[in-house]
């Protein structure tokens, strides 16, 4: 992608894993990012919107539109019914008056108002994106690109949290429907994101930027059950602006909709016009150097 500013909409389940908040902090500080809005998805989306608001307000970005999205999965019971890190919101200044279920109209209207210009970055369960595509099948073709933190493709068979939280939505987003194709469809799966980890003590030392102050509070909730942060979502966000952080392979991603592999993603070889690109390797030290050069 060019060195020009890039219009981005973030769709997130902030409040579950801490990496969503780190990705949002990156987008708020990235000078090449024109952040058109943030939408929330999965259990307690209104509380998740409050977390986004606290971060945007701390960054001096009350201008960023924030919309609450869909709480339930399409056909299965969601695994993350709550947003545990919202317990750390405390007295952080924020909006608290979000209306429910405004994300889909916002996404549709904003993308249609900026045809060919918006990168939609989805780093939570794919419910919002799937409903958007299913109800407006032309819309994917109006994107500049679709970037996902989703799936597992190379190192071992198995599921990935975003994909199997709403497997039917995942299948729609990977093309199991009548919708048009986005010009770019890029996924960052566990194969690469698991290589970007920092232990809790190092994170505490390095998360010092003003925009990260609320994130430090959220992270302490995360550290009660994990000694590390895996930077899944920040890698996907950073690669919009620095795609050479990773190498890639192309093909067609199939999504299993049968037990016991429900929600698993499989990259199939396709010789002509493969619709999907998947990150295959990452330069983790370079990624962390880039992240902290931006978020300072």
Q: Please, what are the domains in the chain? A: 6-294 (3.90.245.10)
Q: Is the pLDDT at 43 greater than 90, yes or no?
A: yes
pLDDT, tens digit (0-9, with 9 covering 90-100), for 147-179 = 999 999 987 778 899 999 999 999 999 997 778
The predicted model gives 79-106 an average pLDDT of: 96
Q: Is the pLDDT at 3 greater than 50, yes or no?
A: yes
Q: What is the pTM of this model?
A: 0.96
Percent with pLDDT over 90 in the chain: 93
Q: Is the pLDDT at 1 greater than 50, yes or no?
A: no
pLDDT at 199: 98
Question: Is residue 244 helix, strand or coil?
Answer: helix
The predicted model gives 77-101 an average pLDDT of: 95
User: For all residues of the chain together, what is the average pLDDT?
Assistant: 95
CB 9 within 8 A of CB 148: no
The predicted model gives 117-139 an average pLDDT of: 97
pLDDT, tens digit (0-9, with 9 covering 90-100), for 249-275 = 999 999 999 999 999 999 999 888 899
């Amino acid at each position: 992608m060019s060195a020009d500013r890039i219009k981005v909409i973030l769709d997130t389940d902030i409040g579950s894993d801490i990496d969503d908040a780190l990705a949002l902090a990156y987008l708020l500080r990235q000078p090449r990012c024109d952040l058109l809005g943030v939408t929330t998805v999965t259990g307690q989306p209104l509380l998740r919107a409050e977390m986004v608001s606290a971060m945007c307000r701390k960054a001096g970005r009350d201008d960023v539109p924030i919309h609450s999205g869909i709480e339930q999965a399409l056909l299965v019971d969601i695994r993350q019914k709550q947003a545990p890190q919202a317990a750390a919101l405390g007295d952080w200044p924020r909006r608290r008056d979000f209306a429910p279920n405004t994300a889909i109209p916002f996404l549709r209207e904003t993308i249609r108002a900026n045809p060919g210009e918006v990168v939609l970055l989805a780093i939570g369960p794919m419910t919002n994106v799937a409903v958007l595509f299913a109800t407006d099948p032309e819309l994917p073709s109006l994107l500049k690109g679709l970037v996902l933190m989703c799936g597992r493709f190379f190192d071992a068979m198995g599921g990935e949290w975003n994909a199997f939280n709403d497997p039917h939505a995942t299948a729609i987003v990977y093309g199991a429907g009548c919708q048009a194709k986005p010009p770019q469809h890029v996924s960052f799966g566990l194969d690469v994101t698991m290589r970007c980890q920092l232990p809790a003590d190092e994170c505490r030392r390095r998360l010092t930027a003003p925009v990260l102050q609320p994130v430090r509070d959220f992270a302490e909730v995360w550290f009660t059950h994990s000694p590390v942060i895996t930077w899944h979502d920040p890698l996907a966000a950073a690669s919009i602006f620095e795609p050479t952080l990773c190498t890639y392979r192309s093909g067609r991603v199939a999504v299993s909709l049968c037990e016991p592999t429900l929600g698993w993603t499989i990259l199939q070889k396709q010789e002509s016009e493969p619709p999907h690109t998947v990150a295959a390797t990452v330069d983790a030290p370079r990624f962390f150097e880039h992240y902290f050069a931006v978020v300072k």
